[in-house]
Structure 1
Amino acid sequence: MQREIHTPEGMRDVYGSECRKKKMLLGRLSSVFHTFGYEDIETPVIEYFDVFSREVGTIPSRELYKFFDRNGDTLALRPDFTPSIARAVSMYFHDTRTPIRLCCQGKTFINRSSYQGRLDESTQLGAECLGDGSAAADAEQIALGVQALQAAGLKEFQFSIGEINYFKALVDEAGLDEEKELALRKRISHKNHFGVEELLDTCELPQKLREAFRVFPQLFGGREILARAKSMTDNPAALASVARLEEIYEVLKLYGVEQYVSFDLSMLSKYRYYTGIIFQGFTYGVGEPIVKGGRYDHLLEHFGTAMPAVGFALVMEDLLNALDRQNIDVRLPDRKHIIVYDRERLADALALAAEKRAEGIHCSCIERNMQVSVTEYEEIAKKNGADISFKNRRKYGNREKQISDICPGERTACKVHPGDV
C-alpha cells in the first residue's frame, strides 16, 4: 500500500462525528473560560528553538520536533503553550499593571521516544493567569478546570494538587547535587519506594531529613496529608509551601469544588519551570491526566519580564476518550438534512436547502445516482444522523420513518419524502 496515504507515526486523522464532537467541546469549554474573564490569544505553532530550550525548563531537546529555516535558525513545533504565552506576554503586555487572563487552543507536538499508545500530536485548550501571585489565582485555575470538566459532561474526576517548593526546600536542605536531585525527583514521582531507599543509602543525611524523603512517595490523600507533611520537617520554606496549599484549599471551598480535590506532594512535574503549586486532573478511562497545570513565577524572566503566573492545559483527545469510555453522550446541537434530487429538480432542491439553512439546519444536496436505491440513501442519512428528502421526477406520498440520531440511545422521527415536499 502506498506510504503517501498514511499519516506519520504518532499522528492521526480526525473526521466525522469525532471531529464535530471535538470542535463542539472546544467551543463549549472556551465559553466557560470566557465566563471567568479569559480572553483569546493565538501564538504560532512554530517558534524559535530557544523558546523551549533547556534553560526555560520544558521537555528535553530530543523530544522536540526541530528543523531549520532558510536563514539557518533552529525552529521547533511547540510542545506546550506555556512558554509561547510567556514570550507573547513579555512582548505585548510587559507594562500591564493588572492581572492578564488569556486562553488558547491548538495543536502541540512531542517527538516521543517510544509510542506506547500516545500520539505525538495533540489538541490542547489552555488558560493562563499572569500578573497575579496570590493563592486566590491558584484556586481560580483549579476551579476553572473543575467547571470545564463538568461542562464537558464528566461527573467523576479528581484534581491532585502538589507543591514543588516543598520538595525543593528539602533538597536544598540536604545539599543534593543536580544529578541526585533529578534521580530522586523521578523515583518519588513514580512512587518508587525501593528506588528512593536505594538512592538515600548513597547520601549522608540527618535522620529526620532521610525519613522525610523516605516517606515522600506516600504523601498523597485528603487534607490530612498536609498535617503529616508539616510534621515531617522544621524547614521554613517547606512549611510555607504547605501553608500555601491550606490557603488554596480554603478558597476552593468558597468555589464549592473541594470535593474534587486531593493532595499529592510526591507529584513532581517534568517541566522545570514550575515554581509552586502544580496540579493534575484525572478521570476514569484514560491512563494519563487530562488536565495539567501549575505556577511558573520565573518563566517570563527568560523573556525579559518579571511577572508571576499560573495556568493549565486540557488535552482534548484524552477528554474525548474518557467521555467515550464512560459512555457519556456528547450532545451535538446541530440538525442535519440531506436532499437527494434528480437533475430536473435541482431548482426545487436548492430552494428547499435554502429554507433549511435559514432555520440553522446543516443541509447538503446530492444528485441522485440511479444505481443507489432509496433504502440505501435512507441508510446513509441514518448513519449521519440526518433527516432526508427526495426531489424526484416521480411523485410519491410522504411517509414517516425512524432514523437514529447521532447520539446513541436517542431516536428522532424524521420525514422521508420520496417525491414532492
Structure 2
Amino acid sequence: MAGLEGYDRHYGTRPIEPWEVGAAFPSKYHGREVIRPLDVPVVHPLAEDSPPPEDDLTVKRYVGLGCGLASLITENLLIHPFIVLRRQCQVNPSAVKYHLVPITLVPIIIRLHQTQGLNTLWKGIGSTLLVRGLTLAVEDLVSKITPWPKEITCNSSLRSFGQHLLLKCVSIGIVTPFYSASLVETVQSEIASERPGILDVFRDGAIRLLEVGNKGRLIPIYALLPPTIAYGVTKYLFTLIVRGVTSRIMHVRHKHSQQLRGAYSRDLVSESVVQDIELHSILVSMCAADIIFYPLETVIHRLHLQGTRTIIDNLDTGRSVTPLLTGYSGAIDCYRTIISTEGPFGLYKGFGSLILQFAAHVLVIRATKWILTELTGVMRPKAKTIKPPPLNYYNDI
C-alpha cells in the first residue's frame, strides 16, 4: 500500500526475519548450522498408473504359452488311455460293470497292464492323430476351394456362420469312414487281433466307404452320415456357446476384481490375462460338451462298430476278451434298446474314465503353470538394491 514502504514487515507482534521470506533457507543462522526440512513427496498409489515391469509381462506371456502347449499335448496324447477305456466301456452291451466312477477302473487298469503290457491302453493312437490331422486338412482344403470361412468370430455375419457350419458338415462327412476305422483300432483287443499298421486306417476307411450295400449287420456308411454329422455339428455349436459364455464371465470377474482393488490395471487386457482366460474357457467348454453329449456318443460308437467283427477287452475282469454282437437298425433303435436292456445308466458306461480324463488334464495344466512360474522365478536375475547414504541431520557446530 502507498505510504507503507518504509515500515518493517511484521508477523503478529514479531518482526519477520529475512530467512522466513525467501524460498531458500540459509545455511547459517546466528552462527549455527540450520537443520533443513526433508522434502517428502506425496504419492497417491491409487491415482498413479504405474504399469507392471516388462519382465513380469514377458514371464506371464511365456507361462501362458507353455500352459497352452501342455494342454494341446495332453488333449492329443496323454489322455488317450482314458479314451480307450471309455470307448471299450461304451460299445460293450453285455458288460455288467458300468464303471460310472473312477475307482472301479483302477483294478482293471492294473490287470490290463499285467496281462497285455504297458502299451495296451495306447492302441490306436496313431490312427487317432491321423484322423484329427485329416480333419484339419479337409477343412483347410474346403475353405480354400469354396468361399466358406474356416474360422468365425462374434462379429461374423449370419451368412458366414451358416457357411462355416456347412464346411463343418462336409468335413465331418468326408472323415466319417476313416473315423470308423480308427474307432475299431482303438477298442479292439491286441491279444485277439493283429496289430494294425500306421497307415491301415486309410485303407480300412476306403474299404468302409466302398461297402455301400448291406453286408451282414454292418451299417453302410451313408446310413451313418446323418447321425454322425448331427452329433459332430451339435457338439461343436454347444462348445462354441459354452466357450463364449465362460470367457465373458471370466472377463467380468477379472474386471470386478480390479474394481475391488480401487483402480483399473493395465493388466486387465494384457496378453497373459487373455491367454489364461482363453485356456480355461476352452477346457470348460470341452468338459461340458463331453458330459452333455456322452449318451449320444455311446449310440454313435455302437453304430459304427456294429458288424465289424471286433473283439474287445472284457473290462468286467480285465483278463478276458469278448466279441461285439449287436443288431441295431439305426440311432433311435439303438437308443431305445440300450434304455430297455441296460437301463438309463447304460448310456453312461465308462463315465468314470471321462472323470479321470478331466482330472488328468487339469492336473497337467496346473503342474505346468506351477513349474514354469517357479523356474522363471529362479532364473530371473535379482534386482540390485542400492542403499542410500545415511542422512546427517546434525553437524558439528
TM-score by length of 1: 0.22
* Bigger relative contact order, structure 1 or 2 (CA pairs below 8 A, ≥6 apart): 2
TM-score by length of 2: 0.23
| Bigger proportion of residues as helix | 2
